[in-house]
Amino acid sequence: MSNFEERLLSALKEEMTMRTAEENMAVQTPVRRGSSRRFVGLGAAVAGVAAAATVAMTVFSGAAPAYAVTKGADGSVNVQINEFSDPDGLKSELAAAGIKSVVDYLPADKICKEPRGEHSASSGRVQTRIGKADKGITFQIEMGQIAADQTLVLAISRDQANPGKPPVSTALQLIKGTVAPCVETAMPALPPPSKDNGPGLTGRKDDSKGSGVSQSSDNQ
Partner 1 sequence: MRLNEDPAAFEAFYRGHVDAVMRFVVRRVGDPHLAADLTADIFLAVLDSGHTYRPGRGSEIAWLYGVARNVVSAQHRRTAREAQATSRVAGRRLMDDNDLGRMEERIDAERQMRRALEAMRGLPEGERAVLELVAIDQLSVAEAAATLGIRQVTARVRLHRARRALENAASPAAVYVEGQA
Nearer to partner 1, 23 or 159 (CB): 23
User: Is residue 45 within the footprint of partner 1 (CB under 8 A)?
Assistant: no
Nearer to partner 1, 95 or 186 (CB): 186
Nearer to partner 1, 22 or 196 (CB): 22
Strands 51-58 and 184-186: unpaired
Nearer to partner 1, 7 or 37 (CB): 7
User: Is residue 19 within the footprint of partner 1 (CB under 8 A)?
Assistant: yes
How many angstroms separate the CA atoms of 70 and 61, rounded? Answer: 22
Region of 2-10, 85-93, 133-141, 172-180 interacting with partner 1 (CB under 8 A): 2-10
Least Å distance between CB 37 and partner 1?
A: 36
Nearer to partner 1, 3 or 178 (CB): 3
Nearer to partner 1, 19 or 71 (CB): 19
27 in the Ramachandran plot: left (φ > 0), alpha (ψ -120 to 50) or beta?
alpha
User: Is residue 16 within the footprint of partner 1 (CB under 8 A)?
Assistant: yes
| Site size toward partner 1, by CB under 8 A | 15
Least Å distance between CB 101 and partner 1?
A: 26
How many angstroms separate the CA atoms of 150 and 144, rounded? Answer: 11
User: Is residue 9 within the footprint of partner 1 (CB under 8 A)?
Assistant: yes
User: Is residue 13 within the footprint of partner 1 (CB under 8 A)?
Assistant: yes
User: Is residue 22 within the footprint of partner 1 (CB under 8 A)?
Assistant: no
Please select the residue that binds partner 1; options are 35, 47, 122, 192, rule is CB under 8 A.
47
Residues interacting with partner 1, by CB under 8 A? 3-5, 7-9, 11-13, 15-17, 19-20, 47
